[in-house]
């Protein structure tokens, strides 16, 4: 059914959730435009983990199969000690027809979404931001930095963790620094790496994640007290240093970390905006509303789900207020689980690295339960409740 309340949408941010939003809206006959602040995209070649719930969401816009084709999927993750002694294999909870996880290069995921957006003819204003925005009863009146003006039935703030649109709606918010940093580096795939693996060291965790037949990426999580500013030209040296205590296959790849420009380092900040994530005709989605530590690989999944769920509700032609209320009912709790449970995993990890491990905690079960929760239905089944 054509939505008579929402016909014209502005999406601020052409990242993972913004591009997905344009595709999902187009599918239900809603015209969208995208504003992207970057002049051109610089998407990293390191990977992104796709659990079954995001593949299910991407299937709604016909893109799950392509991700599976381009990426590398596996039933779960192998766990080793820091020295490379095998501990156990953890099967990831699945949804019928999907693998436990798929791993894909971020650049490939971007290309899949971007090509689709191009093919449906969505207008993207690159190198552009919102200069003025005001909610009126006629819609959100927007002026862009490139001089374009427009009135939109809905503005979607998909502009990431430091969202300008969030600042406009809710002012400055406090993000929590997790005391951890994540390091990533793309490598040629070693033949012996059949599926993703993690080494649990005494002071850090290091994983290797195949993302195609030929490529994998190294994913290292470390304690970074006080959020140090690492000099860019020292990143490869610092990453090598961070994994110097590891044995096995992690030690084997250590000397291949040579180009500091290819090291992707991120201090982990997290936040969860209280509900609702909207005011009048402006809604926040993805990292703008909720940003999690990557410990269950769900940040982008929830960002994609946000806009798939939004489009699913828009199909019902309710008023915008009703649509956004239902949206919050569906997505707030899922985002809360991901942000809070990932924060919890960070806390347990830091305790363990300080020799204060809580033996009563079953981390594996906690992760599996969290992922299984995400596999619960999100679309019309829930809508009917």
Nearest-approach distance from CB 133 to ligand FAD, in angstroms: 11
Beta carbon of residue 36, minimum distance to ligand FAD (angstroms, whole number): 5
Which is nearer to ligand FAD, 17 or 281 (by Cβ)?
Answer: 17
| Residue numbers at the binding site for ligand FAD (CB under 6 A) | 12-18, 35-38, 48-49, 129, 158-160, 164, 182, 266, 286-288, 294, 297-301, 303
Which residue number, 132 or 357, has a Cβ lying nearer to ligand FAD?
A: 132
Residue among 98, 92, 104 at smallest CA distance from 371: 92
- Whichever of 37 and 271 has its CB closer to ligand FAD, that residue is 37
Residue 2 near residue 94 (C-beta atoms within 8 A): no
**Distance (Å, whole) CA 120 – CA 117:** 5
Q: Residue 218 and residue 27: Cα distance in Å, rounded?
A: 36
Q: Which residues pair with 185 in a beta bridge?
A: 218
CB-nearer residue toward ligand FAD: 127 or 259? 127
Nearest to 209 by CA among 94, 87, 297, 95: 297
C-beta of 360: minimal distance to ligand FAD in Å?
A: 28
* C-beta of 48 vs 326, nearer to ligand FAD: 48
The answer, yes or no, to whether the previous bond of 276 is cis (omega within 30 of 0) is yes
Go through the chain and tell me how many residues it has. 385
Task: Give residues with Cβ within 8 angstroms of 57, minimum separation 6.
Answer: 301, 304, 305, 308, 378
CB of 352 to ligand FAD, least distance (A): 20
Q: Which residues pair with 35 in a beta bridge?
A: 12, 125
Integer Cα distance of 354 and 223 in angstroms: 10
Whether the CB-CB separation of 5 and 320 falls below 8 Å is answered with yes
**C-beta of 303: minimal distance to ligand FAD in Å?**
4
C-beta of 318 vs 347, nearer to ligand FAD? 347
Specify the residue, 182 or 311, whose C-beta has the smaller distance to ligand FAD.
182
Rounded to 10 degrees, what is the CA torsion of 24, 25, 28, 31?
-150
304 to 46, 129, 258: CA distances (angstroms): 19, 22, 34
Minimum distance of ligand FAD from residue 368's CB (angstroms): 17
For residues 44 and 383, which CB has a smaller minimum distance to ligand FAD in the complex? 44
CB of 51 to ligand FAD, least distance (A): 7
Kindly state the smallest distance separating residue 292's Cβ from ligand FAD, in Å.
7
- Comparing every residue's Cβ against ligand FAD, the nearest one is 15
Instruction: Look at residues 178, 187, 177, 266 and name the one whose alpha carbon lies nearest to residue 230.
Output: 266
Integer CA distances (angstroms), 206 to 218, 246, 293, in order: 7, 8, 15
C-beta of 12 vs 216, nearer to ligand FAD: 12
Residue in the block written with tokens 């995209």: 41
Rounded to a whole number of angstroms, the minimum distance from the CB of residue 1 to ligand FAD is: 27
């Amino acid at each position: 059914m054509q939505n008579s309340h929402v016909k014209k949408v502005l999406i601020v941010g052409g990242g993972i959730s913004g591009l997905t939003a344009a595709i999902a809206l187009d599918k239900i006959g809603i015209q969208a435009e995208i504003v992207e602040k970057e002049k051109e995209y610089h998407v990293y070649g390191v990977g992104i983990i796709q659990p079954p719930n995001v593949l299910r969401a991407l299937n709604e816009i016909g893109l799950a199969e392509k991700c599976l084709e381009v990426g590398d999927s596996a039933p779960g993750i192998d766990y080793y000690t820091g020295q490379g002694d095998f501990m156990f294999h953890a099967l990831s909870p699945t949804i019928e027809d999907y693998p436990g996880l798929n791993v894909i290069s971020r650049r490939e995921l971007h290309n899949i979404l971007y090509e689709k957006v191009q093919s449906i003819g969505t207008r993207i204003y690159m190198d552009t931001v919102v200069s003025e925005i005001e909610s009126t009863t006629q819609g959100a009146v927007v002026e862009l930095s490139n001089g374009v003006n427009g009135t939109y039935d809905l503005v979607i703030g998909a502009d990431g963790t430091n969202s300008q649109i969030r600042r406009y709606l809710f002012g400055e918010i406090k993000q929590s620094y997790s005391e951890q940093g994540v390091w990533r580096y793309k490598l040629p795939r070693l033949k012996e790496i059949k599926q993703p693996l993690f080494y649990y060291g005494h002071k850090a965790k290091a994983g290797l994640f195949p993302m195609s037949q030929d490529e994998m990426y190294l994913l290292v999580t470390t304690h970074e007290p006080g959020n140090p500013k690492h000099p860019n030209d020292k990143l490869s040296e610092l990453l090598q240093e961070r994994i110097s205590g590891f044995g096995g296959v992690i030690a084997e790849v250590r000397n291949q970390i040579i180009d500091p420009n290819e090291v992707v380092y991120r201090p982990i900040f997290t936040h969860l905006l209280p509900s609702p994530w909207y005011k009048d005709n402006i809604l926040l989605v993805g990292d703008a509303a909720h940003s999690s530590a990557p410990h269950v690989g769900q940040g982008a999944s929830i960002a994609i789900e946000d806009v798939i769920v939004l489009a699913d509700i828009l199909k019902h032609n309710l008023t915008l207020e009703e649509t956004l209320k239902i949206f919050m009912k569906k997505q707030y709790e899922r985002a809360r689980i991901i942000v809070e449970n990932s924060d919890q995993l960070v806390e347990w990890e830091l305790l363990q690295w300080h020799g204060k491990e809580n033996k009563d905690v079953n981390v594996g079960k906690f992760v599996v339960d969290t992922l299984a929760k995400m596999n619960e239905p999100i679309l019309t089944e829930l809508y009917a409740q």
